Structure 1
Amino acid sequence: MIRIESGKDAAMVKSPYNPDYIAKIKAVKGYRWHPDKKCWSIPYSQLKSLLSTFDGEKVEINTSVWFYEQRKELMARKYSRRTVKLYLHYNEEFLRFCNKTPYQVSNDDVRNYLYYLAEKGCSASTLNIAINALKFYYGEILKRRFVYEIKRPKKDKRLPAVFSQEEVSGILSSITNTKHKLILMFMYSAGLRVGEVVRLRVEDMDVERRLIRIRGGKGRKDRYTILSEVASKTLKEYLRKYKPEKRLFSGQRKYRHITTRTVQKIFENACRKAEIKKDVTVHSLHHSFATHLLESGVDLRYIQEQLGHKSSKTTEIYTHVAMKDLRRIRSPLDLMGGDKKDG
Structure 2
Amino acid sequence: MKTIFVKSGIWKNKGLVLLEFAYDEELKELVKTLSGAVWNGKRKAWILPYQETILEQLLALFKSKAWLDYSEFKKIQPEQLPAELPELSKGLNQEIRKFAEWMQNRRYAESTIKTYSQSLSLFFRFMNNKNPEEISSEDLENFHQNYILRRKYSVAFQSQVISAVKLYFSNKLKRKLEPMEIERPKKPRLLPHVLSKEEVKAILQAPKNIKHRTMLSLIYACGLRRGELLGLKLIDVDSKRGLLRINQGKGAKDRMVPISGKTVEMLREYYLVEKPKEYLFEGMTKGQKYSPNSLQEVLKAAVHKARIKKPVTLHWLRHSYATHLLESGTDLRYIQELLGHNSSKTTEIYTHVSQNSLQRIRSPFDDL
Distance 1:60-1:146 versus aligned 2 partners, 3 A rule: closer
1:90–1:212 Cα change, 3 Å: same
1:137 to 148, 168, 173: 168
Decide which structure has greater strand share: 2
Quote how far apart the aligned CAs of 1:117 are. 4.1
Query: What TM-score results when the alignment is normalised by the length of structure 1?
Result: 0.75
* Among 179, 188, 211, the residue aligned to 2:243: 211
Q: Which range is displaced more, 78-87 or 97-106?
A: 97-106
Query: What is the distance in 2 between the residues matched to 1:168 and 1:104?
Result: 55
Aligned positions of 1:1-343 closer than 5 A: 60-61=89-90, 64-101=93-130, 102-115=132-145, 116-117=147-148, 122-147=153-178, 149=180, 150-336=182-368
SS in 2 for 1:283: helix
Percent of aligned pairs with the same residue? Answer: 42
Give the letter for the 2:347 counterpart. Answer: T
The worse-fitting range, judged by mean Cα deviation, of 99-108 and 174-183 is 99-108
8 Å CA contact retained: 1:97, 1:113: yes
- The residue type equivalent to 1:271 in the other structure is V
Q: Secondary structure at the match of 2:228?
A: helix
Higher radius of gyration, 1 or 2? 1
**For 2:263 and 2:103, how far apart are their aligned partners in 1?**
36
1:202 alignment partner AA: L
Q: What's the C-alpha RMSD, in Å, of the aligned pairs?
A: 2.2
Amino acid at match of 2:163: N
Given residue 95 of structure 2, which amino acid in structure 1 is its aligned partner? W
2:191 maps to a residue whose letter is L
| Structure 2, unpaired ranges of 5+ | 1-87
In the alignment, the residues of structure 2 paired with residue 70 and residue 99 of structure 1 have an alpha-carbon distance, to the nearest angstrom, of 19
Q: Distance in 2 between matches of 1:247 and 1:114?
A: 44
Aligned pair in 2 of structure 1 residues 61, 242: CA closer, same or farther (>3 Å)? same
Distance 1:178 1:69, change over 3 A: same
Q: TM-score, normalised by structure 2?
A: 0.70
- Of 271-280 and 160-169, more deviation after overlay is shown by 271-280
Is the 2:351–2:357 contact (alpha carbons within 8 Å) kept by the matching residues of 1? no
1:299/1:211 Cα in 2 relative to 1: closer, same or farther (>3 Å)?
same
1:159-209, Cα deviation, whole Å (9 max, x unpaired) = 111111111111111111111111111111101001111111010011122
CA shift for structure 1 position 91: 1.2
Give the letter aligned to residue 118 of structure 2: H
What is the letter of the counterpart of residue 64 of structure 1?
N
Query: Judging changes above 3 Å, is the alpha-carbon distance between structure 1 residues 241 and 313 closer, same or farther for their aligned structure 2 residues?
Result: same
Query: Could you tell me whether the CA contact under 8 Å between 1:264 and 1:282 is conserved in 2?
Result: yes
Deviation at 1:108, TM superposition (A): 4.4
Structure 1 runs (4+) deviating above 3 angstroms are 101-109, 111-123, 147-150, 330-336
